[in-house]
């Protein structure tokens, strides 16, 4: 961490500090969504609904790999930010080395466990006969590349945790640019279809990993990938896992929710699954912008929690204001042009109608989703493991019974509206826990006097 990053952690005006940490994260995550959308767009030009269905069905697998990366990356990252606030710099080296090698090991375990069960995994994702082979091709490539994907999530988090938000963004942009270029080549030049799209994703993550590794090796004072700093202690495991495990569970729940949601939608045909796949990718753009804002400020909140809680409180207040403004702006755009947005991916009238409807409904909870993400970030940054764990499971626990009941009562419409209901439940629970924990997060009298 250089003097400039330390300045943003400690002394810069709150608005300027938030912009330093959050804007690069927002830009990087928006680029990630753009290439996710382009994946669907490029495949859509082949006019093969089965390929689009396969792309939608494999979202839970990517969520599972992301969960493993976040298990180590976010758990280690928030701990690193708190250690920097406490000026325990040697411990930062131990944690960063632990994060690197643990991620590689987890990725290798995924290969060993996943490849022998490939057919079961594809069936479990809900693939029908028409999309089975496409789904299997995608899953096979993603499993083989899982160490690269898991490591990418980890490195992005620990680089951002020491204040290098712009470096984190550049790594994400490198991944996006490489992915887009490779998508064009594998689809339109080599005609590799779904296999090519999956391969492009793995290679683009590898490119980002190389960039992050070079930065850590040459540009940072406290992070390291050296094996000689690798250390497993009760303190490291405890602090990484108490935040990492809730994030892991939350990511798994997101994947499971996507899987269960797809299974309910299959009752209404491939068009319903494909429409959800397209609309969910479009929804990811504003969601990831808000997520970038909320996750971008996590290192600042974690550092301030250890060093200056009044600054932490000001950071949270300013972030909430930003969420309100962004949610209103995105909502207005989507309600005006939703049909045109879906039409970019398909010329099927039924797909356009169903996709537009899903967009209209799910956008109703955009603000709620943003605030809920901030609640989770606050709990992670301040080491509130129990609260973070509750947030990790509440939406999934709510969605499953709501899906079942809503589907029985109102069919396809009920399935779509169940997402909004589960978002509201998560918001209410998060707000209640933040109120209960408010005394732990208050600045002390000395900080108020300053």
The tokens describing 382, both together, are 């301040």
418 φ/ψ sector (left φ>0, alpha ψ -120 to 50, else beta): alpha
> What one-character DSSP code corresponds to residue 47?
T
Give the Cα separation of 51 and 55 in Å (integer).
6
- Tens of pLDDT along 389-420? 888 778 777 878 888 888 888 888 888 888 88
Residue 205 has pLDDT above 90, yes or no: yes
Helix (H) / strand (E) element for 336: namely helix 309-343
* Burial profile 182-207: b = 16 or more Cβ within 10 angstroms, e = fewer: bbeebbeeeebbbbbbbbbbbbbbbb
Neighbours of 232 (CB within 10 A): 11
User: Helices in 185-297 by DSSP H: which ranges?
Assistant: 193-218, 234-265, 270-296
* Interatomic CA distance for residues 411 and 202, integer angstroms: 37
pLDDT category at 443 given cuts 50, 70, 90 is low
Q: Percent of the chain, pLDDT > 70?
A: 94
Residue of 16, 22, 102, 13 whose CA lies nearest to 289: 22
The yes-or-no verdict on residue 444 having pLDDT over 60 is no
pLDDT greater than 70 at residue 213:
yes
| Spatial contact of 60 and 125, defined as CB atoms under 8 Å apart | yes
Q: Is the pLDDT of residue 111 over 80?
A: yes
Distance CA 191, CA 252 (A): 33
Q: Is residue 204 scored above 90 in pLDDT?
A: yes
Name the 3-class secondary structure at 412: helix
Size of the chain in residues: 450
Which is higher by pLDDT, 25 or 213? 213
Contact 236, 158 (CB under 8 A): no
Per-position DSSP letters for 119-130, written without gaps between them:
HHHHHHTT--TT
158 vs 385: which has the higher pLDDT: 158
Contact present, 431 and 416 (Cβ < 8 Å): no
pLDDT tens digits along 60-79: 788 788 888 988 998 898 89
The DSSP code for 176 is H
d(CA 279, CA 223): 39
450 pLDDT more than 70: no
Say which range, 228-232, 236-240, 340-344, has the weakest mean pLDDT.
Answer: 340-344
131, 50 contact by CB (below 8 A): yes
pLDDT greater than 90 at residue 127 = no
Structure tokens at 240: 């990484």
Question: Would you give the distance in Å from CA 220 to the centre of its chain?
Answer: 25
pLDDT tens per residue across span 87-107? 888 899 999 999 999 999 999
* pLDDT above 80 (res 118): yes
Give per-residue pLDDT as tens, 263-306: 788 777 777 777 787 777 777 778 888 888 888 888 888 888 87
Distance CA 121, CA 404 (A): 23
Average pLDDT, the chain: 83
Residues 6+ away with beta carbon under 8 Å from 307: 9, 10, 85, 86
Out of 1-5, 108-112, 129-133, 148-152, least confident range: 1-5
Cβ neighbours of residue 433 closer than 8 Å, sequence gap 6 or more = 375, 379, 387, 390, 391
Query: CA-to-CA distance for 56 and 280, rounded, in angstroms?
Result: 9
Contact at 8 Å (CB) between 10 and 87?
Answer: no
Q: Which of 257, 273, 240, 214 is nearest to 422 (CA)?
A: 257
pLDDT band of 108, cuts 50, 70, 90? very high
pLDDT tier, 5 (very low <50, low <70, confident <90, very high otherwise): low
pLDDT of residue 1 exceeding 60: no
Which of the two residues, 59 and 430, has the higher pLDDT score?
430
How far is CA 301 from each of CA 4, 154, 163, 374, rounded to the nearest angstrom? 17, 19, 12, 11
Better-predicted residue by pLDDT, 249 or 235? 235
DSSP 443: P
Distance CA 248, CA 75 (A): 9
Predicted pLDDT of residue 70: 85
Q: What is the biggest distance separating any 2 CA atoms in the chain, rounded to whole angstroms?
A: 68
């Amino acid at each position: 961490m250089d003097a400039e990053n330390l300045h943003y952690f400690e002394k810069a005006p709150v608005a300027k500090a938030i912009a330093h940490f959050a804007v690069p994260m927002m830009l990087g995550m928006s680029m990630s969504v753009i290439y996710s959308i382009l994946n669907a767009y490029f495949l859509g030009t082949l006019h093969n609904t089965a390929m689009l269905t396969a792309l939608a069905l494999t979202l839970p697998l990517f969520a599972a790999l992301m969960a493993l990366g976040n298990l180590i990356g976010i758990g280690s990252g928030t701990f690193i930010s708190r250690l920097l606030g406490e000026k325990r710099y040697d411990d930062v080296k131990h944690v960063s080395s632990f994060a690197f090698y643990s991620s590689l090991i987890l990725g290798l375990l995924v290969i060993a466990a996943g490849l022998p069960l490939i057919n079961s995994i594809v069936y479990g994702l809900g693939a029908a006969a028409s999309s089975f082979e496409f789904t299997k091709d995608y899953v096979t490539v993603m499993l083989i590349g899982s160490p690269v994907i898991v490591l990418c999530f980890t490195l992005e988090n620990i680089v951002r945790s020491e204040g290098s938000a712009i470096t984190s963004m550049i790594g994400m942009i490198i991944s996006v640019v490489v992915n887009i270029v490779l998508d064009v080549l594998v689809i339109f030049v080599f005609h590799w279809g779904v296999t090519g799209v999956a391969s492009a994703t793995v290679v683009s993550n590898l490119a980002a990993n190389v960039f992050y590794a070079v930065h850590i090796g040459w540009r940072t004072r406290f992070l390291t990938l050296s094996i000689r700093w690798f250390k497993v202690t009760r303190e490291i495991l405890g602090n990484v896992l108490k935040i990492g495990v809730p994030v892991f569970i939350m990511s798994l729940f997101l994947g499971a929710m996507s899987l269960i949601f797809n299974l309910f939608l299959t009752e209404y045909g491939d068009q319903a699954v494909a429409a959800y796949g397209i609309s969910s990718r479009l929804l990811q753009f504003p969601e990831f912008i808000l997520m970038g804002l909320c996750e971008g400020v996590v290192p600042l909140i974690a550092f301030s929690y250890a060093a200056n809680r009044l600054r932490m409180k000001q950071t949270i207040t300013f972030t909430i204001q930003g969420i309100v403004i962004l949610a209103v702006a995105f909502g207005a755009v989507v309600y005006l042009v939703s049909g045109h947005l879906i039409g970019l991916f398909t010329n099927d009238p039924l797909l356009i109608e169903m996709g537009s409807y899903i967009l209209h409904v799910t956008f109703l909870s955009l603000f709620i989703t943003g605030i809920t993400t901030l609640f989770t970030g606050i709990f992670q940054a301040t080491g509130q493991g129990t609260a973070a764990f509750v947030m990790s499971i509440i939406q999934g626990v709510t969605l499953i019974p709501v899906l079942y009941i809503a589907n029985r009562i109102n069919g396809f419409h009920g399935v779509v509206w169940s997402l909004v209901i589960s978002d509201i439940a998560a918001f209410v629970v998060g707000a209640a826990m933040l109120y209960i924990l408010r005394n732990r997060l208050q600045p002390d009298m000395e900080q108020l006097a300053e």
